Amino acid sequence: MYTATINVRFYETDMMGIAHHSNHFRWFEMARIEFLRHIGVTLWDMMDEDIVFPIMNVSCNYKEPARFDDTINIETYLVKMTRAQMVFKYRMRRASDGALLATGETKNAFMSKSSGKIVRLEDRFYQPILNAVEEMPHD
């Protein structure tokens, strides 16, 4: 598990000071990229090898609102990995009280940036990512 931390910025909120629901997907992406960097795999390195990993499926279950200036911890778990795809699960908590704000999941496929076709990862990227797979514990 990797925990990314963000503060809800004013421009991410509506007139009531609540974070717009679409921001959760950006925060998932930020946490996913930080997770990969943490295990030694960078998006730049993959793109240098003509590999990108677009979202194939994304979901978010909202529990409580995130508000302006909340500090949020995004627990990020890689729960499934094959040579052609990876699946992450997320748990977002408000840092001040640990309240569960949202849970989510993303499924990414590995694709050639130049051809747009699905590719299978070589060991250079596959092994470090595979080694990070774990189950997300239940609350």
Tell me the catalytic residues.
Answer: 14
130 token code pair: 């595979």
Neighbouring-strand partners of residue 6: 72
Rg (CA), the chain: 16
Query: Within 10 A of 126 (CB to CB), how many other CB atoms are there?
Result: 17
Pair 93, 73: CB distance under 8 Å: yes
Pair 75, 91: CB distance under 8 Å: yes
